[in-house]
Structure 1
Amino acid sequence: MSTSNISRRHFLRAAGLTGTALFVGLYFPSNGEEAKLATASAAETSDIELNAWVHIDTNGKVTIFSHRAEMGQGAFQSVPQIVAEELEVNLKDITIRFAQGDREKYGNQVTGGSSTIRGSYKNLLKLGASAREMLIMAAATKWQVSVADCYAESGHVIHRPSGKKFHYGELVEAASKLEAPKDIVLKKRSDYKLIGKPLSRQDSPLKTNGTAVFGLDKKLPGMLYAVVERNPRLRGKLVSFDASAALKVAGVKKVFKVQTGVFQTFRDGVAVVADSTWAAIQGRKALKIEWDDSGFEHMSTAEIYRRQNDLLKNQEGLSAKKQGDPDEILALAAQKLDVVYETPYQSHSAMEPLNCVAHYQEDKIEIWGPIQAPEWVQDYICGQFKLPKEKVVVNMTFLGGGFGRKAFMDYPHEACLISKEINAPVQVVWTREDDMTQGPYRAGISYRCQGALTNGQLSALKFKMAGQNIGHWMGAPKDQPNRSTTEGFLAPYYESIKNVSFSDIPFEIPIPNVWWRSVYASTNGFAYESLINEMAHLAKKDPLEFRRDYLKDERSRKLIDKMEELSGWKEKKNGEGFGLAITECFATTVGQVVKVSRKADGKIKIDKVWAVVDCGWYVNPDIIHAQVEGSVLMAYAAATIHQITFKDGLVEQKNFYNYLMPRISDMPKVEVHVMENDENAGGVGEPGLPPFTPALTEAIFDLTGKRIRKLPFDMDNV
């Protein structure tokens, strides 16, 4: 890794943190070793790039730089809660700021894959503990006493025998001259005061009093506003446009063509720039545009799934994982299933529409916005504009939802192109219609799932998926299977089921697809766990007991026991349907039980959902509960309420009037239980979504005898 000397004084001035301070951070050695600790003073005399994490000023105020985005998943609470635990400070004394995009300083900054805590919690603990120990050493030196006689509490270092104490601000100057300790002893979980507690979120006041800055809140002097009329079919080309009427709209300044990068291709569009977003939208309505949409297929939904089903029947696909010989077992088995499951395309539809502010200035570009992947944006913009990394500055704001869509690079790229053309800062805003009709989307995928029983035992499983591969859009070799083909399937099954295979059948169409909450586990989970449920019934076994037979590791056993205990699984009554599913993604396993019954009018209702989460080490149970509850509702909507459909290559849904959102009355009662263990941390923002739908459809089968294998379905017409 190429590194350069960092000036402590320059960094603190740029960050608005001036004066004497203790500044402890991480740096990434060029030899590929794990991140190491250092102070700013040490960094100033060394050839290292210091990762900005913890800063303590002379007033004892603590500032933390968050390298990940906050889009509702709780980073603004969890990160300071971790640091405050080992630093021994009150949460109210901590300020958290967004770090700028910079892979060399911060490593991976992508807020996705439920990775913010699981990828950094150990370093955060070490940072807090290191700063605490340096402050204790500084106090002991001042008092000329043993370090062992001193301890830290509530932002103070206290001398145990005498009761004397310093607040941290009085010690930072001396502490900043010390070397970061090399060996740190972290607290035992039993000694935690903050971690593991359901503490109130630090960003809630900001979001309720209006001080939180989202992308749409960002304003710059002289900033203009833009919207873009984009080709409604990704690969279509602009033939001509007439802007005469648009330029007559009050406030419209300029109209011109833009070509925005979308994976390996470019989307044609016409930008309308004005002195307000409203004027830009009115100007766009007045445009007259001719598109050339020849040379590529204009797909419709029915054709997409017809092709996928043909592929599942006639092709084996690319092998993603195989053990044993499931084909031989399936050929000989007397008891077997061969079924197809279909899942729909979905929009991300984050409540905050896409937007971005960019300011192009000859040899420098600065960006502000709701961005999930700042270093990806920095890399992409550097490549497109031929600029070195230090000339492209990416600033994160709060995100009003992201779900994977705001980790993409197209909307920042578009803002940079427009700013360069008009030679001024600009805010580009996507309307809801833009967002819903342009994508990229969660891909709709079809699965052929086969299972065999031999002597009543599950002896073989074979899964084939046919759907678009995000990796191929990003340039991955076409002869490689989707690396997420097995996502969602529980690893312990491989120990007890000796014949298992997964394959991916390449399926490419000109409709862009990208990550969506829990990515491929969101569709895989429905297919794979639905087959497990169907195999249980083929074996004439209770679905929960059936899983016990094949999930024999201790963590799975304890999770199943807790699911049974919480839900009262063995106490089912007449007129009740129970279903369950267990999936794993991003190092977290979630089991869910869904209970349904019929309302007085005969329609099915969800009575309750029980979710058991095994995410290993965790920070804040309230955040876990909130993420699982949100995941359940998002999964419910994707399974029963909305889908993206296509006709002649055009998206049929335009806004929330025909891409319906769930209502408060749709939210089922959800009880969440978090398992306690000492395993490494897993993610919590996404794993709560995949198990809900197969548990729901199994519950409906338990109540009605009707199998649901195609999504979405109408709860009122089951």
Structure 2
Amino acid sequence: MSTSNISRRNFLRAAGLTGTALCLGLYFPASSKESEVFNAGDEEASGIELNSWIKIDKDGKVTLVDHRAEMGQGSYQSVPQILAEELEVDLNNVNIVFARGDKKYGNQITGGSSTIRGSYKNLLKLGATARVMLIQAAANKWAVPATECYAESGHVIHRPSGKKFHYGELVETASKLETPKNVPLKKISEYKLIRKPLHRQDTPLKTNGAAVFGLDFRLPGMLYAVVERNPRLRGKVKSFDDAAALKVPGVKRVFKVQMLVYSTIREGVAVVATSTWAAMQGRKALHVEWDDTGFEHLSTAEIYSRQNQELQTKEGLSFRKVGDPDNLLKNAAKKLDVVYETPYQAHSAMEPLNCVAHYQDSKIEIWGPIQAPDWVQDFITTQFNMPKDKVIVNMTFLGGGFGRKAFLDYPHEATLISKEMGAPVMVVWSREDDVRQGPFRPGISYRAEGVVDSGNISAIKFRMAGQNLDHWQGGKKDKANGSTTEGFLEPYFKTIKNISFADVPFETPIPTMWWRSVYASTNGFAFESFMDEMAHAAGKDPLDFRRQYLPEDRLQRLINKMEEVSGWKSREKNGGYGVAMTECFSSTVGQIVKVSKTAAGKIKVDHVWAVMDCGWYVNPDIIKAQVEGSILMALGAATIQEITFKDGLAQQHNFYDYKMPRITDMPPIDVYVMDNAEDAGGVGEPGLPAFSPALTNAIFDLTGKRIRKLPFDMNAV
């Protein structure tokens, strides 16, 4: 299989538009939400530019395009798996290529768990259209009704006679057919590939070394750069002495560079050399003096002290309100009023940031581990005043991303350095750069107030104080965070009669951005911890308590599954059991965690049961792997990881002081996928938010101790 990129021009040139290939793509009319399928001939005649492609050549070779980044979450498998299902081809016999960044593909951001839920219906239609056209082509060649023919394993077969053509023998005829509209799709019961645990197509590439990650990419004459950046985002370069750096063999130049982080300029000094090693040694010899005046240098204790003060004294910006919770809280004889804290986090993907850029007068080309190639194309086009079709963004495999590689700063920096050098340049971030520079997941504090009356919830009020990513991206500062309720199950707004959510504006100079599951990763801890506290105040079983407020059949079935697989109703007396349910990116996940104490008195996670309802789905093995990975990431964020600040500087550097969970920390995990035909939800992120509250709720069940601040030490509970 090939992992090379394919441009529209090269794709159509390869197709030939002369009957040597069948080439299909999608077109989204501006006046309609529905996509239309076009073949290459239609595209050429209509002036329409295709944005997702299937190509079949005369040899029967099938090429499928993945329009999203592959960073471990499985799009390289799941996108072709959808296309191959309706196309009726063997997935092991196709080429898979990454699309370049281009708005003609629609939204290419690999984030928000959107790859499948945002495109599966179009991909099914695309594959089915190709199959129908090939069947019609065969029927025309045989002069028989198309209803007598069917497709299987890259062939069209005539049922009465057993005659068959492979797809390559049909592409010339098929490419001249009018593209059919409203083709029928398979029923779920007819699937041969979808909903099957097929082995991933990228696994062999990643185990035999054939997969090309950003750091593997090479160009003739390429130079290598590292950058000594100001560790405080808003700081400036006051002066630098490059004499010693320029004496390092291989170092070519040293110069100041400025890249954009949102609308703020981050300054640094680039060291460019003939190898990464030489550039790194030159950086060590560099002496830079910084100007860090004009902005606050906050420490962690100050940040949370201010957040807490804001929560106690301000109502914040209202996001959503039902009933009159304020009046009930004001007049309640007894109420719950607690604060939860969640820490700043680094992304710490196994592959640190890197990017190759080649700036030329006539075009700019970029290669690297990029989550949002269309965003990068738009941004570079604007920053360098280059025609959009002359800005080419190529995706490699990503060694993890978690949101960080959807950002625009590192491609911008690489392009600036390439322009200065007049040559292609690879910029490499060290692990220390990655951990200390951010942007980080914001640390957030929550104030939760509630009233329980006669075993039922009378009122709930949540306020959150933390850095608002909407504001960093230029949103109006008098508007609440758009993700204020992310993670909270929507049905609660119907069954809890008095409820409110508000965002208390809070700012620091520390750069923040998305992190896996975005705000649900922190919101979920506060919301589901408080739901558990209210259940105990009501004297009710925590799972039954949630059940009474989630009457929809779909959620009731999920709760039934949680009870069944965990043995909730007959749970052991010598263990602690905790439950949490969260919703994000159109999927609901319920988790039950069992904990116990070792002979040494330390907390041990004995088991995790996770039940996901993501609606229509592709590959159950990928779902299970993503949920397991989410749980392990949540375990690290809840118990061992935290970015702390002193005098405005991140104190962590590398894995020795920003630790990763080890294989010995991994608890037994059982993942169950609810089987239904509802619209597809996300998978890569929704498995994370429920774990930390389920864990701390289990610890409360075991010890009677409430944990309201993350991270906490499992050995000190």
State the alpha-carbon separation in 1 of the partners of residues 714 and 570 from structure 2: 25
Normalising by structure 2, we get a TM-score of: 0.98
Matching of residue 263 in structure 1 with residue 234 in structure 2: no
Matching of residue 95 in structure 1 with residue 65 in structure 2: no
State the alpha-carbon separation in 2 of the partners of residues 411 and 32 from structure 1: 36
For residue 623 of structure 2, what is the aligned residue in structure 1? Answer: 624
SS in 1 for 2:195: coil
Q: Where does the alignment leave 5 or more consecutive residues of structure 1 unmatched?
A: 1-6
For residue 21 of structure 1, what is the aligned residue in structure 2? Answer: 21
State the alpha-carbon separation in 1 of the partners of residues 299 and 546 from structure 2: 39
Residues 84, 14 of structure 1: alpha-carbon distance in 2 compared, 3 angstrom cutoff: closer
Instruction: Kindly state the Cα deviation for residue 65 of structure 1 after the two structures are TM-superposed.
Output: 1.3
Instruction: Kindly state the Cα deviation for residue 122 of structure 1 after the two structures are TM-superposed.
Output: 0.4
Instruction: Kindly state the Cα deviation for residue 67 of structure 1 after the two structures are TM-superposed.
Output: 1.1
In structure 1, what residue type is equivalent to 2:508?
I
Instruction: Kindly state the Cα deviation for residue 421 of structure 1 after the two structures are TM-superposed.
Output: 0.2
Instruction: Kindly state the Cα deviation for residue 58 of structure 1 after the two structures are TM-superposed.
Output: 1.1
State the alpha-carbon separation in 1 of the partners of residues 334 and 623 from structure 2: 41
State the alpha-carbon separation in 1 of the partners of residues 517 and 66 from structure 2: 23
In structure 2, what residue type is equivalent to 1:11?
F
The C-alpha deviation readout for 1:644-691, integer Å capped at 9, x for no partner, is 000000110011110011110000100001001110000000000000
For residue 690 of structure 1, what is the aligned residue in structure 2? Answer: 689
Are the equivalent residues in 2 in contact too, given 1:452–1:460 (CA < 8 A)?
yes
In structure 2, what residue type is equivalent to 1:88?
E
Matching of residue 12 in structure 1 with residue 5 in structure 2: no
Matching of residue 350 in structure 1 with residue 362 in structure 2: no
The runs of at least 4 consecutive aligned structure 1 residues that moved more than 4 Å come to 7-10, 14-19
State the alpha-carbon separation in 1 of the partners of residues 332 and 188 from structure 2: 50
Matching of residue 42 in structure 1 with residue 57 in structure 2: no
Are the equivalent residues in 2 in contact too, given 1:592–1:692 (CA < 8 A)?
yes
Instruction: Kindly state the Cα deviation for residue 364 of structure 1 after the two structures are TM-superposed.
Output: 1.1
State the alpha-carbon separation in 1 of the partners of residues 8 and 389 from structure 2: 17
State the alpha-carbon separation in 2 of the partners of residues 14 and 125 from structure 1: 24
For residue 3 of structure 1, what is the aligned residue in structure 2? Answer: none
Residues 638, 147 of structure 1: alpha-carbon distance in 2 compared, 3 angstrom cutoff: same
Which stretch shows the higher mean deviation, 54-63 or 300-309? 54-63
Residues 715, 17 of structure 1: alpha-carbon distance in 2 compared, 3 angstrom cutoff: farther
State the alpha-carbon separation in 2 of the partners of residues 329 and 535 from structure 1: 15
For residue 652 of structure 2, what is the aligned residue in structure 1? Answer: 653
SS in 1 for 2:49: coil
Residues 231, 377 of structure 1: alpha-carbon distance in 2 compared, 3 angstrom cutoff: same
Q: Where does the alignment leave 5 or more consecutive residues of structure 2 unmatched?
A: 1-6
The C-alpha deviation readout for 1:448-501, integer Å capped at 9, x for no partner, is 011111232111110000000111111011111110000000011111101111
The C-alpha deviation readout for 1:601-625, integer Å capped at 9, x for no partner, is 1111000000000000000000000
In structure 2, what residue type is equivalent to 1:89?
V
For residue 195 of structure 2, what is the aligned residue in structure 1? Answer: 196
In structure 1, what residue type is equivalent to 2:230?
N
Residues 713, 15 of structure 1: alpha-carbon distance in 2 compared, 3 angstrom cutoff: farther
The C-alpha deviation readout for 1:381-416, integer Å capped at 9, x for no partner, is 111111121111100000000000000000000000
SS in 2 for 1:627: helix
State the alpha-carbon separation in 1 of the partners of residues 227 and 34 from structure 2: 44
Instruction: Kindly state the Cα deviation for residue 47 of structure 1 after the two structures are TM-superposed.
Output: 2.1
For residue 296 of structure 1, what is the aligned residue in structure 2? Answer: 295
In structure 2, what residue type is equivalent to 1:34?
E
Show the 5 A alignment for 1:72-91.
72-91=72-91
State the alpha-carbon separation in 1 of the partners of residues 609 and 289 from structure 2: 53
Normalising by structure 1, we get a TM-score of: 0.98
State the alpha-carbon separation in 1 of the partners of residues 200 and 518 from structure 2: 26
For residue 322 of structure 2, what is the aligned residue in structure 1? Answer: 323
Residues 308, 9 of structure 1: alpha-carbon distance in 2 compared, 3 angstrom cutoff: closer
State the alpha-carbon separation in 2 of the partners of residues 163 and 602 from structure 1: 71
Instruction: Kindly state the Cα deviation for residue 20 of structure 1 after the two structures are TM-superposed.
Output: 0.9
Residues 81, 705 of structure 1: alpha-carbon distance in 2 compared, 3 angstrom cutoff: same
The C-alpha deviation readout for 1:123-152, integer Å capped at 9, x for no partner, is 110011000000000000000000110111
State the alpha-carbon separation in 2 of the partners of residues 224 and 376 from structure 1: 25
Matching of residue 62 in structure 1 with residue 66 in structure 2: no
The C-alpha deviation readout for 1:3-31, integer Å capped at 9, x for no partner, is xxxx9875333799998100011012132
Show the 5 A alignment for 1:206-285.
206-285=205-284
In structure 2, what residue type is equivalent to 1:102?
D
In structure 2, what residue type is equivalent to 1:100?
R
Show the 5 A alignment for 1:402-481.
402-481=401-480
Are the equivalent residues in 1 in contact too, given 2:12–2:40 (CA < 8 A)?
no
Are the equivalent residues in 2 in contact too, given 1:324–1:498 (CA < 8 A)?
yes
In structure 1, what residue type is equivalent to 2:616?
W
Are the equivalent residues in 1 in contact too, given 2:240–2:286 (CA < 8 A)?
yes
Are the equivalent residues in 2 in contact too, given 1:345–1:645 (CA < 8 A)?
yes
For residue 3 of structure 2, what is the aligned residue in structure 1? Answer: none
In structure 1, what residue type is equivalent to 2:222?
M
Instruction: Kindly state the Cα deviation for residue 363 of structure 1 after the two structures are TM-superposed.
Output: 2.8
State the alpha-carbon separation in 1 of the partners of residues 13 and 299 from structure 2: 56
State the alpha-carbon separation in 1 of the partners of residues 168 and 280 from structure 2: 52
Instruction: Kindly state the Cα deviation for residue 333 of structure 1 after the two structures are TM-superposed.
Output: 2.4
State the alpha-carbon separation in 2 of the partners of residues 9 and 272 from structure 1: 36
State the alpha-carbon separation in 1 of the partners of residues 597 and 152 from structure 2: 56
State the alpha-carbon separation in 1 of the partners of residues 112 and 493 from structure 2: 23
SS in 1 for 2:47: coil
In structure 2, what residue type is equivalent to 1:406?
K
For residue 573 of structure 2, what is the aligned residue in structure 1? Answer: 574
For residue 638 of structure 1, what is the aligned residue in structure 2? Answer: 637
For residue 508 of structure 1, what is the aligned residue in structure 2? Answer: 507
For residue 497 of structure 1, what is the aligned residue in structure 2? Answer: 496
State the alpha-carbon separation in 2 of the partners of residues 326 and 59 from structure 1: 68
Matching of residue 670 in structure 1 with residue 647 in structure 2: no
SS in 1 for 2:34: coil
Instruction: Kindly state the Cα deviation for residue 548 of structure 1 after the two structures are TM-superposed.
Output: 1.1
For residue 31 of structure 1, what is the aligned residue in structure 2? Answer: 31
Percent identity for Structure 1 against Structure 2: 72
The C-alpha deviation readout for 1:502-537, integer Å capped at 9, x for no partner, is 000111100000000000000000000000000000
For residue 534 of structure 2, what is the aligned residue in structure 1? Answer: 535
Show the 5 A alignment for 1:114-153.
114-153=113-152
In structure 2, what residue type is equivalent to 1:527?
A
Are the equivalent residues in 1 in contact too, given 2:641–2:660 (CA < 8 A)?
yes
Are the equivalent residues in 2 in contact too, given 1:356–1:367 (CA < 8 A)?
yes
In structure 2, what residue type is equivalent to 1:686?
E
State the alpha-carbon separation in 1 of the partners of residues 16 and 353 from structure 2: 29
State the alpha-carbon separation in 2 of the partners of residues 416 and 306 from structure 1: 40
State the alpha-carbon separation in 1 of the partners of residues 15 and 341 from structure 2: 50
For residue 370 of structure 2, what is the aligned residue in structure 1? Answer: 371
State the alpha-carbon separation in 2 of the partners of residues 613 and 140 from structure 1: 43
Are the equivalent residues in 1 in contact too, given 2:517–2:685 (CA < 8 A)?
yes
In structure 2, what residue type is equivalent to 1:439?
G
For residue 175 of structure 2, what is the aligned residue in structure 1? Answer: 176
